[in-house]
Amino acid sequence: MPELPEVETICRTLRKLVIGLSITEVQILWPAVVQNWQNSDFREVVTGRRIINIERRGKYLLFMLDRGWTLLSHLRMTGRWTYYAEKQEPERHTHLVFLLERGELHYSDVRKFGRIQLIPTDLCLCSAPLTKLGPEPLRTDFTAEILQKRLAAKKTNLKAALLDQNVIAGLGNIYTDEALFRAGIAPARKACSLSSEENIKLYEAIREVLKAGIACQGTSLRDYRNADGQEGGFQAFLQVYGRGQKPCLQCGRILEKARLAGRTTVFCSHCQR
Ligand SMILES: [Zn+2]
């Protein structure tokens, strides 16, 4: 599933490609991809709108349109936005096509979990699901104290707390495991059990892995591609994710694999306490 670095990469790439362009035609190839709107009404509102900005909040992409509308997109497992400069036939899993005044923007999704919502912009930022999201970990106003406060309120283990988008926005399975390994903290620890020293290590590790992920344009293991079709490069730097039963890169012992918060979790029981 795309996490903060992947969605941020898509957002930055799409900004360069489609900001300022008008949507000249909307083709809905799988009706259920549009949430809460009749397809015909959706087409009517979106056709002719200009894309004036693209933002990311957590794992959501926000396409801000003129006349006060925003398209809210969550990619879930396998959703993908791709820009084509030339005319492109939709593929088998393409569910939505925006013909633009220059090029085309396609939304495809093999697993079909992703959805597109159309919301008035002034409501979008101050209503669910965005208002429920926790803080953005890379913003300058997100501090170690804020992280500690939010974790202290959780009775779950750390893995579950960090995956909870209402605690902190944007982390998924990959970057959570990587951050906990870099911080030297065991994922099964109670979220509220961290000392302030451990909390600062975790805070720094979270920001470090997310920044490194963005610098590499994300992690491509199976499905993720950027909006220009490129793969990310952070998979070369993964230290624990996907490395269960392989030797720890720090101590050489075999990495353990466990199920936590319903997700496969890889960690080193020697390096992570
Ligand atoms: Zn180790």
Q: What's at 62, amino acid-wise?
A: L
What pLDDT is recorded for position 158? Answer: 98
Distance CA 191, CA 155 (A): 7
Average pLDDT over residues 155-169: 98
Q: Which domains does the chain have, with CATH numbers?
A: 4-132 (3.20.190.10), 144-267 (1.10.8.50)
For residue 213, how far is its CA from the centre of ligand 1 (angstroms)? 22
> Which residues are known catalytic residues?
2-3, 59, 263
What pLDDT is recorded for position 129? Answer: 87
Structure tokens at 113: 């979990």
pLDDT in tens, 55-101: 999 999 999 999 999 999 999 989 999 999 999 999 999 999 999 99
Name the maximum alpha-carbon separation found in the chain. 60
For residue 269, how far is its CA from the centre of ligand 1 (angstroms)? 7
Residue with token string 């029981």: 269
| Cβ contact 232:220 at 8 Å | yes
For residue 136, how far is its CA from the centre of ligand 1 (angstroms)? 29
Distance CA 161, CA 96 (A): 34
pTM of this prediction?
0.96
Q: How far is CA 132 from CA 16, 22, 71, 74, in A?
A: 29, 31, 18, 15
Q: What's at 133, amino acid-wise?
A: L
